[in-house]
Amino acid sequence: MSLHGGIDLGGTKIQTVVVDEAHEVRGEARRPTPHEGGPQDVAEAVAGCMREAAELAEVETAALTGVGVGSPGEIDSGAGTVSSAGNLPGWAGAFALGPFLSEQLGTPVRLGNDVQVATDAEFKLGAASEYDSVLGVFWGTGVGGGLILDGRPWLGRGAAAEIGHVVVKQGGALCPCGRHGCLEAYAGRGAMEAHARRQHADGHKTDLFKIMEKRERERLTSGVWARALEHGDHLATHLVDRAVEALGTGIASALNLLDVEAVIIGGGMGVRLGQPYVDRIVDAIMPHLFNDARPPDVRLAALGDLGGAIGAGLLVAPDPG
């Protein structure tokens, strides 16, 4: 039985899996992404988290056929470097994550774009397996995108599928990327939290930060948002409504350009809020959809929280015969 590893390196958490040839998960681990220090600290946490999943699967990391990593930022898969990872601490320059992990884990490591590997996972194993053209939308700390056209990933010149930076409002809100009016400026959990903190500081009432403290979190996780929504918290409801509206607008723009068969909604927020919010996103897409007589299928990611890590594993998985 050959086993391989998959790592989903996100702005909020690191998720690792050990997977067998049938893509069954044999071990998994998770820890928060360090939000202080630099690339070396993050890389050490990643290696530790991978070792933890391997222990649970009762295998040495050196015995894995390989480990795939889905990473944010700019990936040079040849050199194994990650640069400009804005959601990771101190990671503006290039860091040789692949070689570092390969030495730490004693097995070959291959890097890919975090959202592209999650899209591939849904395309090969999950909610998009019956389609040839798919837009993946990963609603988390940021809003990431992945594109499958005619059965293959569309990468453009290496920077395609940035659905989070489709403009939904010219002259609109400041995005963490420094531009204005991007989808992510309204729907990214990072931008939503910054907005909530400002509103809270300005005296708006909200239970978001009480829930956060009660759960011993330092950030407004998807779970915190979900709980606040359940309690009917006004500020949380307002900001999530705004995010849903922006997601509908940005996804509709992408559909008007690409007219794909299906949209998959994943990411921490997407998976946590689930089908009722997928339905609300569809309602927000429709008024802007040009081909509204024939809307695409819009589905919740089927692999849930593990999709990114399983998809990263596909980078090193033996080809199905």
Q: How far apart are CA 95 and CA 172, in angstroms?
A: 33
The minimum distance between CB 119 and its own copies, in angstroms, equals 13
Q: How far apart are CA 165 and CA 303, in angstroms?
A: 25
28 is a site residue for its own copies (CB under 8 A): no
Q: What DSSP designation does 259 have?
A: -
Q: Which stretch binds its own copies (CB under 8 A): 41-49, 118-126, 165-173, 231-239?
A: 165-173
Q: Tokens 């290496």 — which residue?
A: 158
Q: Which stretch binds its own copies (CB under 8 A): 1-9, 33-41, 156-164, 192-200?
A: 156-164
Q: Which of 36, 78, 156, 276 binds its own copies (CB under 8 A)?
A: 156
Q: What DSSP designation does 302 have?
A: S
**Dihedral angle at the C-alpha atoms of 159, 163, 164, 168, nearest 10 degrees?**
130
Q: How far apart are CA 184 and CA 251, in angstroms?
A: 12
Residue of 195, 179, 199, 178 lying closest to 187 (CA atoms): 195
Q: Which of residues 222-251 bind its own copies (CB under 8 A)?
A: 245-246, 249-250
176 is a site residue for its own copies (CB under 8 A): no
Q: Which helix (H) or strand (E) holds 16?
A: strand 13-20
The minimum distance between CB 149 and its own copies, in angstroms, equals 7
114 is a site residue for its own copies (CB under 8 A): no
Q: Which of residues 274-303 bind its own copies (CB under 8 A)?
A: 287-288, 290-291, 294, 296
168 is a site residue for its own copies (CB under 8 A): yes
Residues 6+ apart with CB under 8 A from 295: 282, 285, 286, 289
Show the tokens assigned to 265: 């909604």
Q: Which stretch binds its own copies (CB under 8 A): 4-12, 62-70, 179-187, 228-236?
A: 179-187
130 is a site residue for its own copies (CB under 8 A): no
User: Which residues are at the interface with its own copies (CB under 8 A)?
Assistant: 133, 145, 147, 149, 154-163, 165-172, 177, 179-182, 245-246, 249-250, 252-254, 256-261, 287-288, 290-291, 294, 296
